[in-house]
Amino acid sequence: MLPAISLGCWHNFGAAGTDAVRHSDESAMHENCRAMLRTAFDHGVTHFDLANNYGPPPGSAEERVGRILKQDFAAYRDELIVSSKAGYRMWPGPYGDRGSRKYLIASCEASLRRLGLDYVDVFYSHRPDADTPLEETMGALDQIVRSGKALYCGISSYGSTLTAEALRVCSENSLARPVIHQPAYSMLGREGVEGDFRDSVIRTCGEHGLGLIVFSPLAQGLLTDKYLDAIPDDSRAASKDGFLQAERVTPQLQAKLRKLNEIAQRRGQSLAQLALAWVLRDRRVTSALIGVSRPGQVTDCVKAVDAPALSGSELEQIDAILAD
C-alpha cells in the first residue's frame, strides 16, 4: 500500500552544491531539501526512497534525510514508508559491493545509522550479482527482515527470469519473500520492464503478486518541459555528476518530446504529468518514483494521479511518436 507517487532521493539530497539548482550554501541546500520532503508529505507522498550510495558523495543523502526525519517527521514515523538499498560500491574490498551477505547486512546497519532509524520499511537488493548465489543474497534479505532491521524486502533491476528464480529460492528455502520490485521504466525506457511477452518484468511481477515501483518514470527529467528546446543550466544533463549526459538530448529526441508535450497540453497536463499517467496506466504498477529539485515539481507531479485515464487513441499516438 504505497502512494501512487513516491519521492526518490537519488539526486538533490547530497552535499551542498551537488544538486541541480547548485545550492552552494549548506543552509540553503538543507532548507530546499526540507521543503521538498515536507511538500511531498503534505500532498500524500508518504514514501521516501533512498539507497546507501545516494548523494553525491555516497551516503550523504541518507545522512541529510535522516536529519530532516528527526527535525520534521519524528512524530509521523508510522505514517511514513522509508526504504533503502545496497548493491553498488560503497567501500573498498571484496565485500563493499554487489550482493553478498556481509555487504547487504553491514550496509543495512550503516544506512540505519545514517538515517537515525531503528528500521527501514523496505530494504532492497539494489542490483543482481552474478558472482554471489541467489541463495546467499535472498538469505541476507531474509536475515535483515527477521532481525527487524527492515519490515519488508525487495529487489531492484532484476530481469524477469532472475525475478522468478529469486522467488523460487525464497519459497524452497522458507525465506522472507520480496514483496516489491524496483525497475527503471518510462515512455523512453520500456524494454527492461515490458520486453517481449516471454521476458516481461511487469508480467512476472503480476503473476507472482509483487508490487512494482518504477524509478526514472520521467527519464531523469527528459520527460518534462525542461528539454523541449535547450539544456537548462539547472538540469541533470548540465551537471557533470549526473547519469544523464548532454549528448542524449539530441534534436531528434527534442522533436519527440515536443510532440508528446502537445498531447499533454490537449489533456490539460504538463509533460511530466502525462509521463506519470502513462506509467501508472497499468494496474500492476504500484507507484511511480519521482526525483525533484524543488518543491514546486512535487506539486506538479502529484496532479497526474487525478488526471483522466489515457484513451486508446492517445496511447496509439504516444506509441507512434516514440516509434518514429
Q: Look at residue 241 and tell me if it is in a domain.
A: no
Identify the pLDDT of residue 324. Answer: 80
Q: Look at residue 233 and tell me if it is in a domain.
A: no
Which domain range does residue 34 map to? 5-221+271-310
Q: Look at residue 54 and tell me if it is in a domain.
A: yes
Residue 197, class by beta-carbon neighbours within 10 Å (0-12 exposed, 13-18 middle, 19+ buried)?
exposed
DSSP 217-256: TTGGGTTSGGGSSS--TTSGGG-TTSSS-GGG--HHHHHH
Of 147-161, 226-240, 242-256, the poorest mean pLDDT is in: 226-240
Query: How would you classify the pairing of strands 287-290 and 5-8?
Result: parallel
Tell me, rounded to whole angstroms, the distance of Cα 224 from its chain centroid: 17
Q: Look at residue 249 and tell me if it is in a domain.
A: no
- CATH number of the domain that residue 168 is part of: 3.20.20.100
Query: Per-residue pLDDT tens for 269-288?
Result: 999 999 999 999 999 999 99
Q: Look at residue 194 and tell me if it is in a domain.
A: yes
Place of cell 512535487: 298
Q: Look at residue 292 and tell me if it is in a domain.
A: yes
Identify the pLDDT of residue 246. Answer: 65
First-to-last alpha carbon distance for the chain, in angstroms, is: 37
Radius of gyration of the chain measured on its C-alpha atoms: 19
Tell me, rounded to whole angstroms, the distance of Cα 205 from its chain centroid: 17
Q: Look at residue 244 and tell me if it is in a domain.
A: no
Identify the pLDDT of residue 239. Answer: 58
Query: In the chain, which ranges are continuous DSSP H helix?
Result: 26-42, 60-72, 101-115, 134-146, 160-172, 191-194, 201-208, 251-266, 271-279, 295-302, 312-323
How many domains, in total, are found in the chain? Answer: 1
Identify the pLDDT of residue 67. Answer: 98
Identify the pLDDT of residue 83. Answer: 98
Identify the pLDDT of residue 43. Answer: 98
Identify the pLDDT of residue 226. Answer: 84
Q: Look at residue 262 and tell me if it is in a domain.
A: no
Place of cell 527535525: 71
